[in-house]
Chains A and B, each alone.
Chain A
Amino acid sequence: MFIIVVGCGRLGSSLARSLQSAGHEVAVIDWSPAAFERVEDKPEVRKVLGTGIDIDVLRDAGADRCAALAAVTDNDNANILIAQAAEHVFHVAHIIARVNEPSTQELLRRFEIDSVCPTQLAAQKVFDALQSPGS
């Protein structure tokens, strides 16, 4: 399926690579040309230069025909805006937003938009590792 990844930082680029390897059509959006170096070796991944909080940029990337969109920039509020634009303007079937601030995640829960909180995931992992040393 066709998936848009907004944000080509460490998380976004890694996600885009995995999705492409898994056989999906992928477009990444980032405002910094330098960010695309992270997916340089993946010519199949389409690179769209621009800020994801602009409806025209999302449309250029193909938001009106994508099956899924992941908003994973390092800016929580940008991800929240992008996720809502994807939902209300482009009616994307499957949307997921990255939110670093745990208390903000609740806002997306109320809007019934899926989110992932790397802060909590990492804290949980570290906690688990500390609880079971040697495993």
Chain B
Amino acid sequence: MYVIVVGAGKVGYYLAKTLLAEGHEVAVIERDPAKRRKLEPELGDVLVQGDGSTPDGLERAGAARAEVLAAVTGQDETNLVACQVAKAFFNVPRTISRVNNPKNGALFRTLGAGAAVSSTEVITSLIQREVDTKKLQSLLSFEAGDMQLVELDLPLGAPVAGQLLANVRLPEGSLLVAVLRAGRLIVPDGRTQLLAGDRLIAVAQSGSERALSSALLGEAD
């Protein structure tokens, strides 16, 4: 897959390295010569000189054949415009923008910048979840946060410990997808017996976490 990364800061650098290691074709566009020089020995031809938020710059990076553009500079406005230019001028099918100021996340989605990723938002939501439902951990968010992959450890005395999954009522919008037991992965079905000490992994729609937690762990104290 051909991926254009806008911005050769820390995020851009590690993103490019990871994508290259996975066998993707990558171009990193950076307008600051000092930043390019620093990465030149390692990234070489992958680096493109230019402003990734302008049609000229993206043209130089070969945007017309890019499948993904990820704008990850430290400036929200640059990331927004890079995504919009990629979509409007080059029909890049997928754009992802890094959002530094979490207040811009909603705005970016409204303006059609593609997926907007804010590390502040992610960390904040992890902390909040920690506070909200002590034993339920979010592993991954899908679809702009509407769906979560969560995990929890089943403690001794949990109401479902010892029961067959067929007899456990899980709230609507949630599904148990894996059980980790003594280092083994079990794909559960109705005949799976849940045991204290199991690590459970479930898919849950946002809003159903609390109900899921109380179904498995009993009413929250």
Hey, which bits of chain A sit against chain B, CB under 8 A?
A: 53-56, 75-78, 80-81, 84-85, 88-89, 101, 103-104, 106-107, 110
Over the window 86-126 of chain B, the binary record of Cβ atoms lying under 8 Å from chain A Cβ atoms (1 yes, 0 no) is 00110000000000010110010011000000000000000
Please judge, given known A-B contacts A103-B54, A103-B55, whether A53 and B88 are in contact too, CB under 8 Å.
no
CB neighbours of B88 from chain A (8 A): 107, 110
CB neighbours of B103 from chain A (8 A): 54-56
Over the window 54-94 of chain B, the binary record of Cβ atoms lying under 8 Å from chain A Cβ atoms (1 yes, 0 no) is 11100000000000000000011110110011001100000
Q: Do residues A107 and B107 form an inter-chain contact, with CB atoms below 8 A?
A: no
The one of A55, A78, A101, A110 that contacts B107, using a Cβ cutoff of 8 Å? A55
Chain B binding surface, main DSSP class:
helix
Hey, which bits of chain B sit against chain A, CB under 8 A?
A: 51, 53-56, 75-78, 80-81, 84-85, 88-89, 101, 103-104, 107, 110-111
Q: In the complex, what distance in Å separates the CA atom of A80 from the CA atom of B85?
A: 11
Q: In the complex, what distance in Å separates the CA atom of A44 from the CA atom of B163?
A: 74
Q: A54-B103, A107-B84 are in contact. List 11 more A-B contacts (CB 8 A).
A: A54-B101, A55-B104, A75-B77, A77-B77, A77-B81, A78-B77, A80-B84, A88-B107, A104-B85, A107-B81, A107-B89
Q: Do residues A81 and B81 form an inter-chain contact, with CB atoms below 8 A?
A: yes
Q: Do residues B55 and A53 form an inter-chain contact, with CB atoms below 8 A?
A: no
Q: In the complex, what distance in Å separates the CA atom of A103 from the CA atom of B53?
A: 10
Q: Do residues A80 and B77 form an inter-chain contact, with CB atoms below 8 A?
A: yes
Q: How many inter-chain contacts with C-beta < 8 Å in the A-B complex?
A: 54
Q: Do residues A104 and B55 form an inter-chain contact, with CB atoms below 8 A?
A: yes
CB neighbours of B101 from chain A (8 A): 53-54
Q: Do residues A53 and B110 form an inter-chain contact, with CB atoms below 8 A?
A: no
Closest CB in chain A relative to B65 CB, distance in Å? 19
Closest CB in chain A relative to B34 CB, distance in Å? 19
Name 24 interchain pairs, CB-CB below 8 A, sorted by A: A53-B76, A53-B77, A53-B104, A54-B101, A54-B103, A55-B104, A55-B107, A56-B103, A75-B77, A77-B78, A77-B80, A77-B81, A78-B77, A80-B81, A80-B84, A81-B80, A88-B107, A88-B111, A89-B110, A103-B56, A104-B53, A104-B55, A106-B89, A107-B85
Q: In the complex, what distance in Å separates the CA atom of A77 from the CA atom of B158?
A: 54
